[in-house]
Amino acid sequence: MNKCFIYEQKPIVCRRIIEYYKDVTSKERQNKINLIWLEACGCSGNIISLLNANDPDVVYFLDEMVNMTYNNSLMANEGEIAIERFLETLNTEFILVVEGAVSLKSNGLYNVVARYQEELITGMKAIKMASEKAKYIISVGSCASYGGPSSARPNLAECVSVYDFVEKEVIRVPGCPSHPQWVIGTIAHLLSFGKPTLDEENRPIIFYGVTIHDLCPRRSYFNKKIFAETLGDKECMIKLGCKGPLTKTDCPIRRWNSSDNWPIGDNTPCIGCAANGFPDAMEPFVKF
């Protein structure tokens, strides 16, 4: 196992989790909890983001941490055989992960995830079935957590967040897409330590405890009231529309693309993709 990226950063949750899994025996690892990952009304960007995970990577996640029984993008089974795996998992102990919003219009028919015995299985129905029996429910991405782009104006499919749809506790892991370490880290915390400490919006504070503005390397410019006038300037971009003060994530220290970069590092204002209200409440994304 490669050294965890977070070893050299402020958050230490990744180190604690990986060392926990190094210590457990092979037999204990084989007794993995099942996991259903449903792709509801959205772009499926979060499962793609998960495939870009590193330290730990997605292979470690699937081999050592969970038994992913259902995900239409990753599983080899298809058709009725695939949905049967989903139905079988409902009778076991499992974690439910949902990305994408819940489409309510026409009883959910704007988002169909399967056909089983001539019946259309909507995302709404699949989420309801699984959420009633899941040990934990995690909404991954901003559509599942807050409605996100799927519920943006004019919201023709009448989308709502998973958090607002189900009647049980939902752990929100927002982002558009969510960083793979936020997702894997949250699940690993559930497995090794139980439910992480959540904030007032049910987000794990280990990843959503401070704003981007708090950790931004351009914060000194803000404190001195020195602001960028155009894209490409090195100063604080708050006058160009940066939503860092409104958005709670650890992007400045975790970063993206194998921890190499992030939007502000690429001279792009934060658009608040992990915040409640994105995208409607965050427009315009850039001001001139």
From 79, 84, 80, select the one nearest 36 (Cα to Cα). Answer: 84
Query: Range of 229's domain?
Result: 212-282
pLDDT of residue 19: 55
For 120-144, how does the pLDDT look when each residue is reduced to its tens digit (9 = 90+)?
999 999 999 999 999 999 999 999 9
pLDDT of residue 5: 32
Q: What is the mean pLDDT of the chain?
A: 91
pLDDT of residue 30: 64
pLDDT of residue 259: 87
**219, 236 contact by CB (below 8 A):** yes
Residue 200 and residue 250 in one domain: no
- Give the domain-ending residue among 163, 189, 207: 207
pLDDT of residue 199: 98
- Give the domain-ending residue among 179, 207, 235: 207
288 part of a folded domain: no
pLDDT of residue 3: 33
pTM of the complete model: 0.89
**How are beta strands 66-70 and 94-99 bridged, if at all?**
unpaired
Q: What are phi and psi of 78, to 5 degrees?
A: -145, 170
Residue 238 and residue 122 in one domain: no
What are the residue ranges in the chain where pLDDT is below 70?
1-30
- For residue 173, give the H/E element and its range: strand 171-173
pLDDT of residue 15: 52
Q: What are phi and psi of 140, to 5 degrees?
A: -105, 125
For 25-66, how does the pLDDT look when each residue is reduced to its tens digit (9 = 90+)?
445 556 899 999 999 999 999 999 999 999 899 999 999 999
Distances in Å between the Cα of 160 and the Cα atoms of 144, 205, 227 are: 8, 24, 37
Residue 224 and residue 186 in one domain: no
First to last CA, the chain: 46
Residue 146 and residue 229 in one domain: no
14 part of a folded domain: yes
41 part of a folded domain: yes
